[in-house]
Amino acid sequence: MNPSSFDNTSEQIWKKIFIALSALSLFLMPVFSTFHGMSGDEWSLIIYGHDIYDYFFKGSKAALDYDIQNWQQVAGLHYYGGLYDFTVTFLHKTFFSGADELTVRHIFNSLLGALLFIYTGLIGKYIGGWRTGVLAFIFIVLSPRILGESMNNPKDIPFAFANVFFLYYLLQYIKNFGVPKAQWKYAILMGVGFGLAMGFRIGGILMIPYTFLFLGAYYLWNAEFQAKVKANMNAALKIAAANLAATFILGYIIGIIFWPWALQAPLSKPLEALEAMTVREIPIRMLYNGAYIMNSEVPNTYTMKWVFISNPVFILVAFIASLFMILPMSKRYGKASIFLLLFSLIFPVAYAIYKHSVLYDTWRHFFFIYPSMVLLAALISNFLLEKFAAQKNYRYITLAAIILGMSLPLIWIIRSFPNEYVYFNEFSGGIKKAIGVYDLDYYQNSGKQAADWIKENTKVKNGKTIVASNMSQIERYFAQDTTHFLGKYVRPNDRDTKDWDYYITYSRYISLAQLESGSWPPANAVHVISVDGVPLSAVLERKTKLDMAASVAMDQQKLDSAFSLYQQAVTIDPSNELVLVKYATLFAQRGDIQNALITLDQAIKIDAGNPAIYNLQAQIYRAIGDAAKAQEAENMLRNLMQ
């Protein structure tokens, strides 16, 4: 067999592997998605999808402006394209109305995730052959953050898919330039990709300048493309102008057709949304680098640090290696292709830094840049395998590095399922080093596991079992059995004043002192959802409702009754620091300073990060004339409130 025949046979084998992996992903992703919980954004986007549906079918105006609702959770929602949320809502109402809406949404979300994997692989194939395509596919599938959020992230995963879809057909357009029929075919497909991206998120409109930039790069650095253009410059430019006009007109129509707010002024509203989304402020407190900060305070390194601590080490090392090998790789794969990948990776982050865009919740808003990093990692891997084709030892070392490197995230995915996305790589010390340093289950994925445990393990009683949580829309997990369960939102600091039987708590917004000391979850946790021994969320069982009765008595100024009730509540369940602080307050009001301070010390052991403890301590010490200890308590309070 001559070398060219061997190469062709090898390519065919890799092609079959790619097809098999693609088919497997389209089958398995929807199955896996049913195990994942509702994400923090999802409930608001369900509302948005229903409002858009009502706009078209019932004449509702709710989707036109969410700022007038004075509801922070949905503020600015009209700036997002409605393509995904309307489409899924329409499909659910029309064809799958008997199925759970969250399940339907997750299935479609996961299919877009699978298509993200497939089109990333196809770009790899286009640039470096089928083996590169397979490597790129495997690399992105085994990226736990991307894989996990492919199940339930209805904003960033669809947008990332639309980007690779567009880029793939742009490359096909360039390859087939000079063949009018093929040019039109790929121009239309580019239009679909542009429309999908814009319909998912207005940032897709930047594909217009991207297109001309990448075409210019290929004209400068790709001799074949340059020759095709120069062969008949005038005719080529006229056809290209017609093609691209069709691309962007079609895409623009697709992008706004299910976007009620944009339809009110189709030419100006999308540009208004682009500006608004670039500078939009959504105040969110985040745990970053071991401190709680507001998202308006994040450093310029925020996004790239998250990228480098929450993606597989092998991919990061391979990506960095590709930068050092940029010249030989450009010679092997073409300058224009490498430029396309580097630009689509670097520019969006640089632009966000330049515009001082408000960032939050890790790097999920930049998932669309990750395929470029994966592709560069796959290209350098393929490059080295080619380079060492005749040197078995080096070839085996390269293969071993790929296999061992990607086995680490694979093992994590298996071990952590269905909480893959809380991944931290070996560079960062893993999830055990991340607790108390970074947000873990910020997207509330583990809420489903907690709710399922309650449904499977609690005894049915005469009345409804009340399940409370500070997770968004927890009641949706119990929508199929409202006879026995009632779900509702309760803030953590209101746990002692509201009625509930079980409370689902998760690690976000828990005080640093509790996270660092290991005192969270509290002693009344009857079930803990954890990964590698690190808790993500927990189910708390209420031992008594005397604390709630005591709170009512305090509000009614029945202080003796409140004291007695708190005394009983603390005896039954001494794990609630909120109750202990109020109990200590009543001790102080009775003049029993010693027991007040002892009770506050008990509260500190549970949550040394509760400001109310030190506020009361300072007041007590001031009252008894101990200025030094009062100052110490005030300093603690000041540090916590910063």
- Between CA 209 and CA 396 the distance in angstroms is 43
Query: Where do the H-state alpha helices sit in 99-232?
Result: 101-128, 130-141, 144-149, 156-175, 180-200, 207-221, 223-231
In this structure, how many other beta carbons lie within 10 angstroms of the beta carbon of residue 539? Answer: 24
The token pair at 79 is: 């700036």
Torsion of CA 587, 589, 592, 595, to 10 degrees: 30
What's residue 359's pLDDT?
Answer: 82
Q: What is the pLDDT of residues 556-593, one digit of tens each?
A: 999 999 999 999 999 999 989 999 999 999 999 999 99
- Between CA 505 and CA 524 the distance in angstroms is 11
What's residue 461's pLDDT?
Answer: 67
- Between CA 85 and CA 325 the distance in angstroms is 42
What's residue 563's pLDDT?
Answer: 95
Judge residue 25's burial from the number of C-beta atoms within 10 Å of its C-beta, 0-12 exposed, 13-18 middle, 19 or more buried: buried
Tell me what percent of the residues of the chain surpass a pLDDT of 90: 81
The token pair at 180 is: 């009018």
Q: Region 484-492: what's the mean pLDDT?
A: 92
Q: What is the pLDDT of residues 258-271, one digit of tens each?
A: 999 999 999 999 99
Average pLDDT, the chain: 93
Q: What share of the chain is helix, strand, coil (3-state, %, to 5)?
A: 70, 5, 25
**At residue 2, does pLDDT exceed 60?**
no
- Between CA 333 and CA 63 the distance in angstroms is 47
Q: Region 99-122: what's the mean pLDDT?
A: 96
Q: What is the pLDDT of residues 294-330, one digit of tens each?
A: 888 889 999 999 999 999 999 999 999 999 999 999 9
**At residue 516, does pLDDT exceed 70?**
yes
Tell me which fold the domain 546-641 belongs to: 1.25.40
DSSP, collapsed to helix, strand or coil, labels residue 429 as coil
What's residue 460's pLDDT?
Answer: 62
Q: Region 355-368: what's the mean pLDDT?
A: 87
* All structural domains of the chain with their residue ranges: 13-421, 447-541, 546-641
Q: What is the pLDDT of residues 44-53, one digit of tens each?
A: 899 999 999 9
Q: Region 352-379: what's the mean pLDDT?
A: 91
Q: What is the pLDDT of residues 566-575, one digit of tens each?
A: 999 999 999 8
Q: Region 46-62: what's the mean pLDDT?
A: 95
Q: Give Cβ neighbours of residue 299 (< 8 Å, ≥ 6 apart).
A: none
Element holding 514 (H helix, E strand): helix 512-517
What end-to-end distance do the CA atoms of the chain give, in Å? 72
Which residue from 284, 297, 289, 292 is spatially nearest to 443, judged by alpha carbons?
284
Three-state secondary structure of 215-249? HHHHHHHCHHHHHHHHHCHHHHHHHHHHHHHHHHH
Q: Given pLDDT bands bounded at 50, 70 and 90, which one contains residue 284?
A: confident
Q: Region 359-386: what's the mean pLDDT?
A: 95
**At residue 5, does pLDDT exceed 60?**
no
- Between CA 170 and CA 193 the distance in angstroms is 10
In this structure, how many other beta carbons lie within 10 angstroms of the beta carbon of residue 638? Answer: 12
Query: Where do the H-state alpha helices sit in 362-468?
Result: 370-387, 392-416, 431-434, 447-457
What's residue 74's pLDDT?
Answer: 76
One-letter amino acid of 41: D
Q: Region 161-184: what's the mean pLDDT?
A: 96
CB-based contact 132:125 (threshold 8 Å) = yes
What's residue 408's pLDDT?
Answer: 97
CB-based contact 82:52 (threshold 8 Å) = yes
- Between CA 600 and CA 480 the distance in angstroms is 43
DSSP state of 38: -
CA-based R_g, the chain, Å: 28
- Between CA 421 and CA 440 the distance in angstroms is 9
Element holding 286 (H helix, E strand): strand 285-288
DSSP 441-500: STT-TTHHHHHHHHHHHSPP-SSPEEEEESSTTGGGGGGGGTTTEEEEE--GGGTTTS--
Q: Given pLDDT bands bounded at 50, 70 and 90, which one contains residue 274?
A: confident
Q: What is the pLDDT of residues 425-439, one digit of tens each?
A: 999 999 999 999 999
What's residue 4's pLDDT?
Answer: 46
Distance of CA 514 to the CA centre of its chain: 25
The token pair at 74 is: 């949905």
- Between CA 300 and CA 294 the distance in angstroms is 14
The token pair at 89 is: 């809502």
Sign of CA dihedral 76, 82, 88, 94: positive
Q: Given pLDDT bands bounded at 50, 70 and 90, which one contains residue 279?
A: low
What's residue 7's pLDDT?
Answer: 67
Q: Region 608-629: what's the mean pLDDT?
A: 93
Which residue from 38, 291, 87 is spatially nearest to 195, judged by alpha carbons?
87
Greatest pairwise CA separation for the chain in angstroms: 97
Inter-axis angle of helices 313-324 and 326-333, nearest 10: 90
The token pair at 125 is: 């194939």
CB-based contact 545:499 (threshold 8 Å) = yes
What's residue 352's pLDDT?
Answer: 86
What's residue 357's pLDDT?
Answer: 79
Q: Given pLDDT bands bounded at 50, 70 and 90, which one contains residue 177?
A: very high
Q: Give Cβ neighbours of residue 172 (< 8 Å, ≥ 6 apart).
A: 126, 182, 186, 189
Q: What is the pLDDT of residues 499-509, one digit of tens each?
A: 999 999 999 88
